[in-house]
Amino acid sequence: MSPAKINLMLRILGQREDGYHNLQTLFQILDWGDDMTFQQVNQNGQCQIRITGFNDVPEEQNLIHQAAQLLRPMARKQSDWLIDVNKRIPQGAGLGGGSSNAAMTLLMMNGYWDCGLCQERLLQLGNQLGADVPLFIHGRAALAGGTGNELISCQFDTPWVLLLLPDIHISTARLFQHNDLRRNQQCIDTALLHHQDLWINDFFPLLLSIDQSLRQLYQQLHHLNPVRLSGTGSAMFVLCKSRAEAEAAQSQLPQGLRSVVVQAKAAHSTGVEKNQ
C-alpha cells in the first residue's frame, strides 16, 4: 500500500531566500491509501516502466515516472516493469498521494533494479521530487522542520481518524504565494508538541477565506469539533479516540460527502470508505 498522511499541525515560520518556506509540522501516516502493484514484464530489458491507473496525468509529470528516472542510472538489473495504481487518495487533497507513490517507487525499484541505495541516499533522491516524499521513505509519524524534509520520529495519540474528502482540488502553489498567508509563526517547543490545542494549520483560515465551497462545507460541520485541515489541500479530518466515536461522527456528515474512517499506520487497521 502507498499510504496517505495528514498534517496534525502546520506552522509557517518564514519564507526563505530561495522562495521556499520553513515549516514546523507534525506528520501522521495513515493505514489507508493507494494500492500499487509492481509486475515484471521483461527480465532483460532497458529499465523501462509503464504506469497504469492515471487518466489525466501526463507520464513525464507523474512522480512515479520521475522517481524511476532518478534510479535508472544506478540500476544493476535491467528489468522492465508495469506499475499499476488504484487511486484512492484524491489529487489536491493535501494527503500526499503523489509523494507517497513516488516514495513507494523509490523503495521498490531500488530493490528490483538492485540499485543498492541506503535509506539516507533514498531520502536525498526523494527530496528532489518533493518535500513530502522523504516522509514516506522514512515511513513513520514525525516532527518535520525545514521545508518538511527534516524528520524526527514521533508518536502521537491519534488512534482513529475520520477523513473528510470533498471533491475540491486545491493548488498548493497558489496558497504558498497568497499575500494573506501568515508567514511569521513561532516554533513550538518540543515539550508542547503533544498539546492538541496547539495543532493549528496556517493554511486553514486562508483557504476558508478564499474558497467559498470549502467554507460552506466547513460551516455544515460545526457539530464536529475540532475539524482540522491536512496540508495545503481540501481534505479535512477529525481525531477520535475510538472507531465507534469516528463512525458515529461519520454518520452525521452531510449527504454526498466522501469520508473514510482509518487508523494511524502503526495501528495496522484497514479503512472502510463511505459515500453518504
**How much is the pTM?**
0.92
The one-letter code for the residue type at 110 is N
- The DSSP secondary-structure symbol of 62 reads -
In this structure, what C-alpha cell is assigned to residue 216?
460552506
CA distances, 2 to each of 36, 90, 183, 224 (Å): 6, 13, 31, 28
At residue 18, the pLDDT reads 83
Residue 266: the pLDDT is: 67
| Whole-number pLDDT of residue 220 | 95
CB atoms within 10 A of CB 139: 15
| Closest listed residue to residue 112, CA positions, set 43, 50, 53, 62 | 43
| 141-144 long-range contacts, CB within 8 A, separation 24+ | 141/26, 141/27, 141/28, 141/29, 141/264, 141/265, 141/266, 142/26, 142/27, 143/24, 143/25, 143/26, 143/27, 143/190, 143/193, 144/23, 144/24, 144/25, 144/26, 144/27
Q: Omega before 134 cis (within 30°)?
A: no
**Which residue ranges make up the annotated binding site for ATP?**
90-100
pLDDT tens profile 198-231:
999 999 999 999 999 999 999 999 889 899 999 9
What is d(CA 88, CA 165) in angstroms, rounded to the nearest whole number?
A: 10
Residues in the chain, total: 276
With cell 465507534, the residue in question is 244
Count Cβ atoms below 10 Å from residue 254 Cβ, excluding itself. Answer: 13
Cα–Cα dist 216/208, whole Å: 9
pLDDT, tens digit, for every residue of 148-162? 889 999 999 999 999
**C-alpha closest to that of 262 among 33, 11, 79, 61:** 33
Residue 155, phi then psi, degrees to nearest 5: -125, 135
Q: What is the mean pLDDT of residues 97-122?
A: 98
Burial class (CB in 10 A: 0-12, 13-18, 19+), 84: middle
Residues marked as binding? 90-100
Q: In whole angstroms, what is the distance from residue 202 CA to residue 12 CA? A: 7
Q: Which residues are the active-site residues?
A: 5, 132
Q: pLDDT, tens digit, for every residue of 137-150? A: 999 999 999 988 89
Kindly list the structural domains of the chain, giving each domain's residue range(s) and its CATH number in brackets, ordered by start.
2-145 (3.30.230.10), 160-275 (3.30.70.890)
Q: Smallest Cα–Cα separation from 94: which of 54, 130, 58?
A: 130
